[in-house]
Homo-oligomer: A and B are copies of this chain.
Amino acid sequence: MLNVAIVGASGYTGLELIRLLDRHPEVRISCVTSEQSAGKRISDIFPTLRGRSDLLLEPLDSTAVNAKADLVFTALPHQAAMAVVPDFLAAGKKVVDLSADYRLHDADVYAEWYQPHINAELLPEAIYGLPELRRDKIRTARLVANPGCYPTSVILGLKPLLERRLVDLNTIIADSKSGTSGAGRSAKVDSLYCEVNESFKAYGVGSVHRHTPEIEQELSELAGQSVALTFTPHLLPMDRGILSTLYAMPLRNITAEELAELYADTYNDEPFVRALPKGQFPSTAFVRGSNFCDIGVTLDKHTNRIVVVTAIDNLVKGASGQAIQNMNLICDFPETMGLEGLAIFP
């Protein structure tokens, strides 16, 4: 039985880790922390857990965490994560970090988009934890940087095109739309029910959202050369789900049939990516609560442009589910263990 700690357990990704790990036969949650809610039971914060979990939220103390856990999920805001991750590593723990702190290889890029990094020496060994890209490296990692929600939806959608060098790298656009749980659980006027409901808007227009460099880092690695894209996130009036609509111009003639085949081939053996048959496109509703990424692709014959549509649950494949997938790889559990749950619809 693996003992895991969830550091920062009072947010939505923390709760989703608990919900999913509850079904994992090889894991026991031995420690949950929260600065704001220390001293309360986790079930007082999240009444879904009533009668099912009596864990006491503790203030974050690395030594205490190290004494209780073999592996640590850090579900903290960026900057807060890098303040404690080295402590866990130093004690020989494995870490799956859900923050942005170890996703970017380049400390200067990190500093430009966030703030100066305080333990940049760890960046070279941190593995960007998208199993569909580098499953083997994750298996042997001490520190996995769990991908952002938008990046997961964009990178999986473009991987087949980029690794085959099929598209003009100057023509890539990601028009992404996210449910509101991505904004977290902190009290802000912009996240109030009456501000979000019956409302739809773009934000970070002009590729100024912090997920841009993360996406480009991974696309560049896939393409074998530097890639810049236009990325526009939008806020959806719903709880969960990201749908990304991706555009790129092909470098050679290609048909919708070939594209569908390419995606099917690429993802055939992937347990959590479903490449849809030609003519079918995903909906966030059909992945809600599950670790699936559904992908549809076609050619707009009219303009000879490739259009890819991907859907994930931002809290599962876009965060906590993927973190557990990474944990499974690190710990040599079956990759799908604990993640078999079907989507919940309606």
In angstroms, Cα B47 to Cα A274, docked, is 11
Tell whether A335 is near chain B: CB-to-CB under 8 Å: no
Tell whether A73 is near chain B: CB-to-CB under 8 Å: no
Chain B neighbourhood of A341, CB < 8 A: 22-23, 341
Q: Is the CB of B207 within 8 A of A302?
A: yes
Q: Is the CB of B185 within 8 A of A187?
A: no
Chain B neighbourhood of A12, CB < 8 A: 194, 346
Tell whether A114 is near chain B: CB-to-CB under 8 Å: no
Interface residues of A in 282-298 (CB under 8 A from B): 282-290, 292, 294, 296, 298
Chain B neighbourhood of A290, CB < 8 A: 48
A147 CB, min distance to chain B CBs, angstroms: 20
Interface residues of A in 30-52 (CB under 8 A from B): 46-52
Interface residues of A in 102-147 (CB under 8 A from B): none
In angstroms, Cα B175 to Cα A238, docked, is 19
Chain B neighbourhood of A185, CB < 8 A: 189, 192, 194
- Which residues of A are interface residues toward B (Cβ below 8 A)? 12, 15, 18-19, 22-23, 46-52, 170-171, 173, 175, 177, 179-181, 185-189, 191-203, 205-207, 212, 228-230, 232, 234, 236-241, 243, 245, 247, 256, 274, 276, 281-290, 292, 294, 296, 298-303, 305, 307, 309, 311, 340-346
| Apart from A50-B276, A207-B300, A230-B302: 15 A-B pairs, beta carbons within 8 A | A12-B346, A15-B345, A175-B175, A187-B188, A187-B191, A191-B193, A200-B285, A201-B282, A203-B281, A206-B299, A206-B302, A212-B302, A237-B238, A239-B346, A289-B344
15 A-B interface contacts by CB (under 8 A)? A23-B340, A23-B341, A51-B274, A52-B342, A177-B177, A181-B194, A198-B240, A202-B243, A203-B281, A207-B300, A229-B303, A230-B247, A230-B302, A232-B245, A240-B346
